[in-house]
């Protein structure tokens, strides 16, 4: 609440200060020196006020917390029934979220033509990115911003420093390999792919990142089929409450591709006089727990564990699941 008042205060201050500036500079009885001096005073006041308001916002948002050292996955859970149980228990239900953002603010695409993914993920998942492995050191990553925007980035881990040493043209996969993947995934003709590659190489020579921005829709089913054909096996990583999972493709034991997806999660919140208890749960059975307290405050372990067990019982999860979590404590956000 203080954050809202602080924002309103900042707007009002800007209006007042702007009015003072106009009043000072429109006053014909003031000399230029006096106008400059008064303007500096107003400016200093504005800076001090801004920092004061910012400090108040920081103090207001500070809190202590108990948080798990990593979420857990409990396999097939009745997600819809859990939400209904939480509502009947009068818990606050926030969401859906894709990881930590609302659906309208999340990047990614909604493919509807990959039955194999829908069988595991349902029909509400987002496709975030896909990665091709040219070899164990060289990869091409496709990041899907929206239906018509994709960023293609290349990484090469054989460099002396994979993250900071200069990326050179020779660190790229072969042109023919890149062209084949672009033609497949975007339906480009060969020349359009060549034009993108040449532009990227020119940028690399100028010290830019090895990156291409593509403004065309992706053939997600062809991408998936291509990775299936390249591999001998595949498996999904487990979600941990945020809904993020990666389908990993292997040719024997060698990783050849990845497709990262996100399913929705909700946060079930129980507000008590002692703190705010949150159970984050996603559609694939991932669960994460946290407790927010006033800054510097702490409570006995058996007390907050007891509350989480009560919540699990009320929403339809076994109380014993809570015992599988390990908690860390932080007395302050800052």
Q: Indicate whether 240 belongs to any domain.
A: no
Indicate if 85 and 213 belong to the same structural domain.
no
* Per-residue model confidence (pLDDT) at position 296: 86
Residues 267, 279: contact at Cβ < 8 Å? yes
Indicate if 111 and 189 belong to the same structural domain.
yes
Indicate if 18 and 131 belong to the same structural domain.
no
* Per-residue model confidence (pLDDT) at position 3: 45
Domain carrying residue 256: 107-229+246-262
* Per-residue model confidence (pLDDT) at position 319: 97
Q: Indicate whether 235 belongs to any domain.
A: no
Residues 316, 279: contact at Cβ < 8 Å? no
- Of 128 and 13, more confident: 128
In which element (H, E) is residue 215 found? none
Dihedral of CA atoms 203, 208, 214, 219 in degrees, nearest 10, equals: 110
Segment 97-118 shows an average pLDDT of 92
Residues 109, 122: contact at Cβ < 8 Å? no
Indicate if 115 and 31 belong to the same structural domain.
no
Q: Indicate whether 236 belongs to any domain.
A: no
Q: Indicate whether 255 belongs to any domain.
A: yes
Indicate if 258 and 139 belong to the same structural domain.
yes
Indicate if 256 and 153 belong to the same structural domain.
yes
* Per-residue model confidence (pLDDT) at position 241: 97
Indicate if 45 and 76 belong to the same structural domain.
no
Indicate if 90 and 36 belong to the same structural domain.
no
* Per-residue model confidence (pLDDT) at position 29: 72
Q: Indicate whether 149 belongs to any domain.
A: yes
What band does 160 get if pLDDT is binned at 50, 70 and 90? confident
Segment 104-115 shows an average pLDDT of 91
Indicate if 77 and 120 belong to the same structural domain.
no
Segment 211-225 shows an average pLDDT of 96
Q: Indicate whether 78 belongs to any domain.
A: yes
What band does 330 get if pLDDT is binned at 50, 70 and 90? very high
Indicate if 84 and 23 belong to the same structural domain.
no
Q: What is the distance between the alpha carbons of residues 86 and 83, in angstroms, rounded to a whole number?
A: 5
Total number of domains constituting the chain: 3
- The string of DSSP letters for 257-302 reads EEEEEE--EEEEEEEETTEEEEEEEETTSEEEEEEEESTT----HH
- CB-based contacts of 156-159 (< 8 A; 24+ apart in sequence): none
Q: State if pTM tops 0.85.
A: no
What band does 59 get if pLDDT is binned at 50, 70 and 90? very low
Q: Please write the tens of the pLDDT for every residue from 226-248.
A: 999 999 999 999 999 999 999 99
Q: Please write the tens of the pLDDT for every residue from 267-319.
A: 999 999 989 999 999 999 999 999 999 998 999 999 999 999 999 999 999 99
Q: Please write the tens of the pLDDT for every residue from 30-41.
A: 676 766 666 677
Residues in the chain: 334
CB atoms within 10 A of CB 110: 13
Which residues neighbour 81 within 8 Å (Cβ) at sequence distance 6 or greater?
Answer: 316
* Per-residue model confidence (pLDDT) at position 101: 94
Q: What is the distance between the alpha carbons of residues 87 and 94, in angstroms, rounded to a whole number?
A: 11
- CATH number for the domain spanning 303: value is 3.30.310
Compute φ and ψ for 30, nearest 5 degrees.
Answer: -85, 140
Indicate if 86 and 17 belong to the same structural domain.
no
End-to-end, the C-alpha distance of the chain in Å comes to 19
Q: What is the distance between the alpha carbons of residues 294 and 142, in angstroms, rounded to a whole number?
A: 42
* Per-residue model confidence (pLDDT) at position 50: 56
Q: Indicate whether 238 belongs to any domain.
A: no
What band does 73 get if pLDDT is binned at 50, 70 and 90? very high
Which residues neighbour 289 within 8 Å (Cβ) at sequence distance 6 or greater?
Answer: 67, 68, 277, 278, 279, 280, 308, 322, 325, 327
Determine the number of helices (DSSP H) and then strands (DSSP E) in the chain.
8, 14
Indicate if 137 and 257 belong to the same structural domain.
yes
Q: Indicate whether 9 belongs to any domain.
A: yes
For tokens 């024997």, the residue is 252
How is residue 231 written in tokens?
């591999």
What band does 54 get if pLDDT is binned at 50, 70 and 90? very low
Q: Please, what sign has the CA dihedral across residues 96, 101, 106, 108?
A: negative
Dihedral of CA atoms 312, 313, 314, 317 in degrees, nearest 10, equals: 60
CB atoms within 10 A of CB 268: 25
What band does 113 get if pLDDT is binned at 50, 70 and 90? confident
CB atoms within 10 A of CB 274: 14
């Amino acid at each position: 609440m203080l954050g809202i008042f602080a924002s309103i205060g900042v707007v009002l201050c800007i209006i007042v200060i702007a009015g003072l500036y106009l009043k000072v500079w429109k006053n014909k009885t003031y000399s230029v020196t006096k106008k400059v001096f008064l303007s500096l005073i107003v400016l200093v006041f504005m800076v001090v006020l801004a920092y004061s308001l910012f400090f108040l916002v920081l103090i207001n948002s500070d809190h202590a917390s108990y948080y798990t050292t990593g979420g857990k996955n409990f396999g097939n859970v009745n997600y819809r029934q859990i939400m209904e149980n939480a509502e009947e228990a009068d818990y606050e239900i926030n969401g859906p979220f894709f990881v930590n953002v609302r659906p309208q603010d999340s990047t990614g695409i909604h493919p509807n033509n990959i039955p194999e993914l829908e069988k595991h993920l349902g029909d509400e998942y987002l496709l975030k990115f896909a990665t091709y492995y040219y070899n164990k050191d060289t990869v091409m990553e496709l990041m899907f911003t929206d239906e018509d925007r994709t960023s293609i980035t290349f990484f090469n881990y054989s460099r002396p420093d994979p993250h900071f040493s200069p990326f050179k043209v020779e660190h790229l996969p072969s042109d023919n390999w890149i062209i084949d993947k672009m033609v497949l995934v975007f339906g480009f003709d060969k020349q359009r792919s060549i034009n993108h590659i040449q532009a990227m190489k020119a940028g690399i020579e100028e010290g830019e990142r090895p990156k291409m921005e593509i403004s065309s829709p992706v053939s997600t089913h062809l991408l998936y089929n291509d990775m299936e054909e390249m591999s001998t096996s595949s498996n999904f990583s487990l979600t941990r409450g945020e809904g993020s999972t990666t389908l990993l493709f292997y040719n024997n034991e060698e990783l050849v591709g990845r497709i990262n997806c996100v399913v929705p999660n909700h946060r079930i919140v129980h507000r008590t006089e002692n703190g705010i208890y949150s159970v984050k749960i996603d559609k694939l059975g991932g669960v994460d727990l946290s407790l927010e307290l006033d800054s510097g405050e702490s409570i006995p372990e058996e007390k907050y564990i007891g509350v989480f067990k009560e919540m699990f019982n009320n929403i339809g999860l076994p109380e014993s699941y809570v015992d599988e979590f390990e908690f860390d404590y932080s007395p302050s956000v800052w």
